[in-house]
């Protein structure tokens, strides 16, 4: 019984948000967002953790063995997939921004261009 994983998750989320706001480089903003998102992985796995539980795969252990909660692990898998796809879209946007304006500093992007 502990709340340490929750605190780590909160720290990752806050650190990622802070990094996204103060960053001066679009790539670093995207990395900071993915740090913030990894907080959600830690939170989900922390919720599902059962002390002494093994992986919820019963291929070589008896049914009824102590395992961690499989539902949040499945949700975490969804989370990872969504995270990776959003990351790739954001990186593609950053590439296009850099091509059209020649800069990766979000503060330098002050005007819209066609």
Partner 1 sequence: MTRQVRTGLLVVGLLGFGALLVAALLAAPPSGRESHPYGDAASQISVQRQNTPNVISSINFDQRGFDTLGEEFLLFASVLGAIVLLRPTPGDKQVEVSDAPEPLDAVRALGVLLLPVVVLVGFYVVATGHLSIGGGFQGGVILATGIHLLFLAGDYKALRRVRPLPLVDVDDVVGAFGYIVVGLVGVAMGGAFLQNTLPLGTFNTLFSAGTVDLLSVAIGIEVGSGMILLLGEFLEQALGSQSSASSSGAGT
Enumerate binding residues for partner 1 (CB under 8 A). Answer: 1-7, 9-10, 13-14, 17-18, 21-22, 46-51, 55-59, 63, 67-74, 77-78, 80-82, 85-86, 88-89, 91-93, 95-96, 98-104, 107
Decide: 48 and 72 in contact? Cβ < 8 Å. Answer: yes
CA distance 56 to 66: 8
DSSP 8-class letter at 26: H
Least distance in angstroms from the C-beta of 9 to partner 1? 8
Q: Select from 84, 5, 1, 12 the least CA-distant residue to 44.
A: 5
Please state the closest distance from residue 77 (CB atom) to partner 1, in A: 6
CA end-to-end span of the chain: 56
Chain centroid, CA 78 distance in Å = 11
Min separation Cβ 2 and partner 1, Å: 6
Minimum distance from residue 17 beta carbon to partner 1 (Å): 7
């Amino acid at each position: 019984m502990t709340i340490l994983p929750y605190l780590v998750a909160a720290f990752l989320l806050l650190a990622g948000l802070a990094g996204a706001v103060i960053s001066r480089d679009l790539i670093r903003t995207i990395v900071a967002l993915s740090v913030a998102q990894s907080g959600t992985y830690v939170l989900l796995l922390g919720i599902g953790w059962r002390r002494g539980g093994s992986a919820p795969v019963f291929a070589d252990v008896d049914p009824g063995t102590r395992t961690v909660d499989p539902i949040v692990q499945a949700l975490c898998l969804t989370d990872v997939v969504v995270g990776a796809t959003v990351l790739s879209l954001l990186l593609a946007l950053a590439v296009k921004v850099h091509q059209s304006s020649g800069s990766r500093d979000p503060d330098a992007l002050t005007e819209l261009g066609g």
